[in-house]
Structure 1
Amino acid sequence: MSVAKFVAANGREAMRQVREAMGPDAVVLSNRTVEGGVEIVAMRDADLGSVQATAQVYVPPAPVAEPTAIGDLRGELQSMRAMLERQLAGISPAQSAVPSAAAHGVAASDPLRESLFEWMVGAGFSGQLARTLLARLPLGYDRPAAMGWIRTELASKLPVLGDEDSLFAQGGVLALVGPTGVGKTTTTAKLAARFVLRHGADKLALLTTDSFRIGAHEQLRIYGDILGVPVHAVKDAADLRFALAAMKDKHLVIIDTVGMSQRDRSLSEQIAMLAGVPAPVQRVLLLNGASHGDTLNEVVHAYRHDAAPDGGGIDGCIISKLDEATHLGSVLDVVIRHRLPVFYASTGQRVPEHLELANSTALVERAFLTPRRGSVFADADAARRRSAGTDDEAPARGGADEVLRSLTDSADALSQCVAELNGAGLGLDLARSLWQQRSAGAPALRAMSQQVREAVCRDVTRQCEQYVLASAATLQVAVPGRRTPQPMQHTLWLADRDGMPLAATVTPTGRAGQPLGEAESDAASLRAAMSAARKVVNLIDAVPTAATLARWQQAGERWVASARKTARVVSAGAAWKLDALADTLTFHAVGEDTVREREAVRWLASAEVRVPDSPVRGKGTPEGGIDACLVVARLADRATGELLDTRYLLCDPALAQDAAQVARWALWTDAADARLRTLRHAIDHFAQDAESGHAAGAALAALQLGLAVLRLEHAPTAAAPAFLARLAGRTVRQGVPVPGTVLNEGMGRMLALLDVLEYYPGRGTAVPAEAMEVLQ
């Protein structure tokens, strides 16, 4: 049997030696990085038959009931939590007589319902609503299932406006009412902007009855001028009737009313003024999401019943100041109790971005996700506990309760999150394996680097059609032992098919040095491995220098550079500015897109050009330069033909046949800076606690964890981003992508939780590997 070892400076040279010695059908047995280059062990294809004849048949091990093992772990955590809750509840004799959840109708012998009661009340929901729901809680639910059931029940009882078009389509008059300072004027402008975007400014008019607040009319008039919508002020019922009669040709009129306290005796006069106009008026009440529940309840009752005894005072509501709310459950509780439809939710001051169509599920989820720090305005039960002298016991109980509750809840949700991430193929399994080996020595580090290269080669082969894209930027990085930050080149490798991040490298610039986290191999070897599978295309901000271009041409690499419209090139023997040359080209439609809620068509044109070495002056045509292909991509409104965007790109002439691809790649580079900052944050975040002497392993693991986060950011899964944000203690807004820095923080906490569950001290031993496969 002929088995031989070949060592060369790189993989290409080693494979050349293999083919020369053993023929093109040789079988590669191993491939690893060694000092001085790459080592390949191979054998002749003819000798493979003898190996196959003596090989033993593999018999897979008997299957193991994995869900049962992990289920036993969750059961132990839940039982231990319930036992400690009962024991801690009886620490103090005085505490047993203190009214708590039991005093509100929730049995103290049922720790699950007691903890759920406190969870709901802590989010701002009333004890009455909490008791009502918990009385209907199905039997047999664990805490995560019960929490999910409660969220679903609350969302089903929260009436919302299902379709914005139905509100605008019926037209007529829409009046915003509510107490002072609740945000009626700003909300009026937001509604007007949303209407104008859909139906145009000529079908809308704005009125204000606020003649008391200084500058109220002027503020609304400024918004009206921006939108091209007329704004008028009225003083009394007669003025209002006259103004509405003059605006009967308008499809919708929005009225910004004067703010009035729910206890103001003039409130009934305002409602009567709105009821006295000939056209039907929809009255929409603004509720301050940051207000106390009792105040909100009084506001709704006053505007709906006291000011309008027939009960027809309010048609719906808008919840404002969600960004300021600490107990959002209070306003949701009031809305549910009064069966008041929620039209919109306001989350800030920006017009019109910070106005969202109400979504019952998102509002309920936000109520429970809103971070709440310790409050001096505690509820009555907490106050009575302090007055009973149980301050020493309370922290102990609360701390134990929160730790146990966190472990119990996380066991199920964490396994689902990790399974979802692994199923998405984001490379988390490799990243976590590297994370667990980050403190290993140099031999393990070499094996880790080999794992990374093999994974990258597999991903490049699987996800790239013809090319692999390289986007690089230089960032300043703090280096231990140096006074000033060191410039480091961060390179992100993307798939040409969809822009999915495939690999990342970090290398010092300006001098030779090892890239961060690649102890034995450098970025050049990883680049060579990828270029052996696919052509490399460098995405850059400017046309490359002659030296850089020569280096890329020698390696068989391509390039794409962004260019300004005023840049000059040579075409057909004449010098042109890019925008002028573009006007002479023939464009072809290559696809459709949506930009700022406008349907658009993408148009493409290309031409062979030469980029001169020196600036073009006068009418002369300079000699020399770089041959390139000009790609011009235009985005035009589908209905009107209005030009929305134009991009000018210069690329390697070899890419002339792939002009449409080049235009797509340019769009992906828009997010390159943000992606590289996320990668930098991941390196700093995950490698910050690295022990002395293990920085290289920690940096390699941090780099791969950052890459997994970038992939999740590029292709979000259904539930994992929200779960990671929750672990990071951040609030997630429905439909808004979770920032990469938040995903980094959540990923770090997820790794810590996995370590806790894997080495759960209550079991005395580590969790069996077959059980951990559910979490890995």
Structure 2
Amino acid sequence: MRFVGVNSREAMRQVRAALGDEALILANRHTEQGVEILAMAESAAEDGNGGIGESTPRSAEPGRPAAPAPPDPTQAFEAMSARLLEEMRDMRSLLTERNRPESPETLGEKLIQTMLEAGFGQALAEEVVSALPEELARTAALDERALAWLARQLAKRLSGLDDEAAFMDRTGIVALIGPTGVGKTTTTAKLAARYVMSHGTRPVALVTTDSFRIGAHEQLRIYSRLLDVPMYALNADQPVSDLLERMKGKSWVIIDTVGMSQRDHRVIEQVGHLHGGDSPVRLVLLLNAASQPETLEEVVVRYRQAAQAAGGELNDCIITKQDEAGRLAPVLDIVMRHGLRLLFVSHGQRVPEDMVLAEPVALIEQALADRAPLTRPNVRQVAEPAVRNSGNLLGQGRRLAGVLQALRQRLPGFERLEEAWNLLGLPSTIQQQRLEELLSEYPGPGQVQGMMWSERRRVPGESWSMPDVALSPEGTWLALPLLQHRQVAGQKARLEASLERHLIDLHLMSGLPDGETGEWLEQRKLSWCSQVRGSQRVEHAGERLSLASLAGVGEGVSEERCRFRGGPARLSLSTLPVNVALKGSRRGQEHLAAQAWLGEVRDEESSRILGTRYWIAPARLGGESKPLLLTLLQGDVLPQLARRAWQRLDPAELGELRADLKLSMAGGLATVAAHLDLAEDEAAMDLRAELLGLGGGRRRRRDVALLESLIQLFMVRDTIRHLGLGERETG
């Protein structure tokens, strides 16, 4: 008999109830319904009918059972044989199903399987999928959008050489290091050839330290003659400084070092000799694409340790012998996890044709295109490689640097928010001085086209007011808001000052402008929109009514997707023409021809009403007002987020913190978190998921989780900087 329960305990309860405590369990498995158990009664063979006999027959006399018919031994044996045969078939089917590779169910599992099939390791696969955006995670479809997201995430983790010319133009010594047979001599010739093609032969020189391998000198000498550049020989135990006098006038020197196993203790000595001179030496590690992942891992770790022990750094690499590798993903996995910068990829012996500049996007596409089915039965049970925990802080530091760089590129003013954070812990007087300097030059020329003026009253429960938020020419909020107490007094004076300094022609306000300000706005035909309360009275059809009472009168315009209180929502908009009275207007200017907008916000899933909003804009703007009122609606969340950030910025944890600096940071963190929550483009989706994976995790409210993640991002950034593993020069 088969029994299905939501868990093992429930299924066993059914077994005991039907077959008793002596039931024989034949098999069990997990199904979509829960746990399925195959069982039979231990006495089934003894009762002669295999447990499948009919119920006891009754006589025609009501309630009186008839005597059971004597069992037929032949029929009982055949029935028992048939049942046992059926059970054997079921067990065989069950065993076959268990040995069949389990198909991944969620999109995350499918993406992990895709990476494993390509040759990427489990550690990197799980790290990437940990940042899977919720927009994609809702579906299990491994479609083009999901694969494009995967390619973007991998490409972001693969750092390349942005500008080959900048690398070549930087004078100094480049030393190629790596195990024996990795292709250092050929790569030395290829690099020299690329340099000669752009800079000529005069500034370059070749150096070899390989005195162990027969013919090593001669091979490089042949290349030097073909390229018409000088070659020098240096003993492996001889410091580079011994040659510097002979190489005066050479601005680019390439050293072909002796190949050593990563396990050779002389590796540290070799790297130490390379750093023995006064000229800086750039170390470049060569990685054989055809090597086993475990070997590559050991090569990177040991050579990096050697560089550190010698007082140097090893951040760059070149992949060699790509043409001999079955798959590209394993070596790319090593490069990404360790945060190395990949300069070039070599794929043959021809000089210089068989070496190209590393292009992360193309390499990732090539790696994902070359996939093979997994031999292990279950993605979730694939054995963890021995190198799972070998990724170091430098790799994480580069990942964090990538997130910070994306925020700088996306949000104008984010660099100033970083500068404000950098003031934490400084003495109060220095904080104040540097904050004054920072804010006096902010925002810069051309950065601002509009302003979202916050309410001129305190945030509930706090002693401060929400800072004002500037809008870029593209309509993006500037990351660092403007403190209210630094603005000039008076509404009209503030708007005039903003027009004079930044040529601002867009004003979003809380509440109607006063009469003087309204006249000033209308005289200059500036764009403006005010979010008002439902109690705001307007004149419509000859009557003076509140906006709330006109909710059913307006003409339906559209329904817009939006976010409200950290969740997806829909905004139903209606509008109607009204006249509004501006307080303090001169006689004859009491009423302004305006357009009233009424919005009803509903939960996207349940259609439950979440709130209503009202806006007033000049009638001359017509439908151009719609994006303005949407921006005002989105700004609703800023005071709440700023209040939460204010409470999270604890001086006991972060060091001395002035109130105005704390408010600048709290407002900035709120603005960035809200922007990322509201943005709908794929770049924002990726950045959002990356942040949530790094910091606060996923919470019920996404904007709050993003705020927590941003605070965590800055704190981890500080920690990594203190360890000396922060962002580095890329030239």
- TM-score where L is the length of structure 2: 0.37
Larger Rg: 2
- TM-score where L is the length of structure 1: 0.35
